[in-house]
């Protein structure tokens, strides 16, 4: 019973005449990391660092998104993104056995000897974990395989995780006032969309050992949780959108602190980041990337926050270092507890969020070698309701089938949706912009614009969506802009979270 469910809270706030929506049953969740050594067909030894977020489906099973990236060897830029299903069985009061399967998509630096094929990666795992409070760790026997390539190996690795709770409202409570005693939804306080430039320093070289100091334009997003006044931690992802390095990608964990400057709404401070980066012929060695620099943010009276930060990025095992500057717009996600008062005494409005696992089929994509071919993609999609008809959306994924292994993308934008119709149907449309690259796909500099229309069927928490869309490059290639049609089928989970 590793994934147990708690009882629902009462629907009325004590001592209040106001009817507040209350969270439903509390679902256990966990953030889990892993270290998986891997021997490649050419004899090289690497290791994959994995990170997953798992939410309980029932008492024994959990499911959620995950990402793996190279963190050892000379394969920086090898990334896959996908989903993990995991079952757990308790052996005694402090030990449990887990079995899981990860299915994702991606790839990295390949050759005639090392082939990632279309990009699909499977990773079954059997692990034994010891628990200490909310933490657990242990040994894992894992098999990594790219079915359409030649990368396949079984090894003994490590797993480390921390248990938490997934607290949410019913999607039917959307628009109602709500109250909760802890963070709801995914537990992050805000999401930011960012864009900027990196200026590689002299000495930066590509994987062919040629100098590469051309300015890189990039775009990305981050999620933050504030743990005290001006203190935060978070995760961020970004990709190249300019500079001839399409396919370059970064995934980092960050932490920072800032202080008031000329008033409580303008704040100055600094942040640190550590994670993985690579791709686009950028030489980051084993993939590790370090970042540090100053930050400036202005908290507007309307809830949004403007950020300006800069600093220095460095790959300690590669030949990449750069100064960077970027501008971001952050929007609140969930109600944030006050440092000086009880979270139970605060309230907000319930807004619907949706998380989808999506398979996307592109029947005709132009490659840099001049050929056209079909590819399939696996994507993680998240939406956040802003009004009953308007919502924000973000998606990230990689190629899984075809010949575009190592092709990856990240898109952000907004959508319009109809009211729920008879039979639980809903219709909508989205417009997104972002970055993509790698795998030999001809996307110019990497900047994309995508539009999509869809139909969705809804039942309480379950969402099933089918859509048709098209993306187009924002910067033309030598023979004009590129475009491709997209058909997608998505299965999702909807929940309510407490918004400011």
- Assign 18 a pLDDT band (cuts: 50, 70, 90): low
Q: Is the pLDDT at 405 greater than 90, yes or no?
A: no
pLDDT in tens, 87-117: 999 999 899 999 999 999 998 887 889 999 8
Give me the mean pLDDT over the 295-307 stretch. Answer: 90
Give me the mean pLDDT over the 379-403 stretch. Answer: 91
CB 119 within 8 A of CB 279: no
User: Could you tell me which CATH class the domain 27-166 is placed in?
Assistant: mainly beta
Q: What is the pLDDT of residue 500?
A: 67
CA distance 312 to 295: 12
Q: What percent of the chain has pLDDT over 90?
A: 58
The DSSP secondary structure of 305-353, one letter per residue, reads EEEEEEEEEEETTTTEEEEEEEEEEEEE-SPPPPSSS-GGG--EEEEEE
CA distance 45 to 140: 18
- Assign 467 a pLDDT band (cuts: 50, 70, 90): very high
- Assign 180 a pLDDT band (cuts: 50, 70, 90): confident
- Assign 12 a pLDDT band (cuts: 50, 70, 90): very low
Q: What is the pLDDT of residue 263?
A: 85
Q: What is the pLDDT of residue 343?
A: 46
User: pTM for the complete prediction?
Assistant: 0.89
Q: Annotate 256-285 with b (16+ C-beta within 10 A) or e (fewer).
A: bebeeeeeeeebebebebebbbbbbbbbbb
Q: What is the pLDDT of residue 119?
A: 92
3-state DSSP assignment of residue 13? coil
Q: Is the pLDDT at 1 greater than 80, yes or no?
A: no
Closest alpha carbon to 431 in 443, 448, 445: 448
Going through 10-151 in order, the beta strands assigned E by DSSP cover 27-39, 45-56, 61-72, 79-92, 95-107, 120-132, 135-145
Closest alpha carbon to 406 in 2, 70, 107, 13: 107
CA distance 240 to 442: 14
Q: Is the pLDDT at 480 greater than 80, yes or no?
A: no
CA distance 414 to 464: 19
pLDDT in tens, 169-178: 898 888 888 8
Q: What is the pLDDT of residue 198?
A: 93
Q: What is the pLDDT of residue 257?
A: 95
CB 269 within 8 A of CB 259: yes
Domain 348-499 fold is Porin (2.40.160)
pLDDT in tens, 247-269: 889 999 999 999 999 888 999 99
Structure tokens at 283: 């030489």
Give me the mean pLDDT over the 136-150 stretch. Answer: 95
| Residue ranges of the chain that CATH labels 2.40.160.20 | 27-166, 188-332, 348-499
Q: Who wins on pLDDT, 179 or 103?
A: 103
User: Could you tell me which CATH class the domain 188-332 is placed in?
Assistant: mainly beta
- Assign 246 a pLDDT band (cuts: 50, 70, 90): confident
Q: What is the pLDDT of residue 347?
A: 78
Q: Is the pLDDT at 290 greater than 90, yes or no?
A: yes
Q: What is the pLDDT of residue 440?
A: 85
Q: Tell me the CA distances in angstroms from 232 to 214, 275, 340, one per residue in order.
A: 32, 17, 16
Q: What is the pLDDT of residue 454?
A: 97
Closest alpha carbon to 376 in 56, 106, 83, 17: 106
pLDDT in tens, 23-74: 888 888 999 999 999 999 999 999 999 999 999 888 789 999 999 999 999 9
Give me the mean pLDDT over the 361-369 stretch. Answer: 90
Among the ranges given (149-153, 209-213, 360-364, 397-401), the one the predictor scored with the smallest mean pLDDT = 209-213
CA distance 291 to 310: 10
Give me the mean pLDDT over the 193-216 stretch. Answer: 89
CA distance 288 to 185: 30
CA distance 492 to 210: 45
């Amino acid at each position: 019973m590793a994934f147990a469910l708690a009882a629902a809270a009462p629907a009325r706030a004590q001592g209040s005449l106001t009817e507040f929506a209350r969270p439903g049953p509390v679902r256990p969740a966990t953030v889990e990391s892993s270290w998986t050594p891997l021997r490649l067909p050419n004899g090289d030894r690497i290791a994959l660092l994995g990170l997953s977020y798992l939410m309980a489906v029932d008492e024994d099973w959990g499911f959620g998104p995950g990402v793996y990236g190279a963190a050892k060897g000379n394969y920086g830029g090898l990334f896959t993104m996908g989903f993990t299903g995991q079952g757990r069985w308790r052996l005694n009061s402090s030990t449990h056995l887990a079995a899981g399967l990860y299915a994702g998509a991606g790839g990295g630096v390949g050759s005639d000897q090392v082939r990632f094929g279309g990009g699909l990666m499977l990773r079954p795992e059997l692990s034994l974990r010891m628990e200490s409070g909310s933490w657990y760790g242990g040994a894992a026997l894992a098999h990594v395989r790219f079915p359409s390539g030649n990368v396949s190996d079984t090894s003994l690795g490590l797993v480390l995780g921390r248990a938490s709770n997934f607290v949410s409202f019913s999607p039917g409570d959307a628009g109602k006032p709500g109250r909760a005693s802890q963070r709801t939804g995914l537990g992050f306080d805000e999401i930011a969309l960012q864009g900027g430039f990196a200026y590689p320093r002299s000495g930066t070289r590509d994987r062919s050992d040629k100098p590469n100091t051309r300015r890189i334009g990039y775009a990305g997003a981050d999620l933050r949780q504030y743990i005290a006044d001006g203190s935060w931690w978070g995760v961020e992802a970004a990709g190249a959108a300019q500079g001839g390095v399409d396919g370059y990608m970064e995934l980092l964990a960050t932490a920072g602190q800032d202080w008031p400057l000329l008033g409580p709404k303008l704040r100055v401070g600094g942040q640190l980041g550590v994670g993985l980066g690579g791709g686009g012929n950028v030489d980051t060695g084993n993939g590790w990337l370090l970042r540090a620099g100053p930050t400036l943010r202005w908290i507007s009276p309307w809830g949004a926050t403007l950020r300006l930060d800069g600093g220095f990025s460095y790959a300690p095992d590669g030949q990449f270092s750069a100064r960077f500057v970027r501008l971001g717009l952050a929007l609140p996600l969930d109600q944030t507890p006050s440092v000086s008062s009880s979270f139970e005494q605060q309230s907000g409005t319930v807004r619907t969020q949706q998380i989808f696992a999506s398979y996307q089929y592109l029947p005709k994509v132009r490659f840099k070698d001049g050929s056209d071919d079909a590819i399939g993609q696996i994507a993680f999609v998240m939406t956040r309701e802003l009004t009953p008809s308007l919502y924000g959306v973000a998606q990230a994924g990689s190629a899984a089938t075809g010949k575009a292994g190592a092709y990856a993308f990240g898109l952000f934008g907004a959508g319009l949706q109809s009211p729920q119709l008879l039979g639980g149907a809903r219709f909508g449309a989205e417009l997104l912009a972002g970055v993509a690259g790698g795998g030999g796909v001809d996307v110019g500099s990497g900047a994309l614009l995508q539009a999509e229309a869809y139909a969705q069927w809804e039942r309480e928490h379950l969402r099933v969506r089918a859509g048709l869309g098209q993306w187009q490059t924002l910067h033309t290639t030598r023979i004009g802009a590129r475009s491709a049609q997209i058909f997608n089928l998505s299965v999702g989970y909807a929940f309510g979270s407490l918004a400011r």
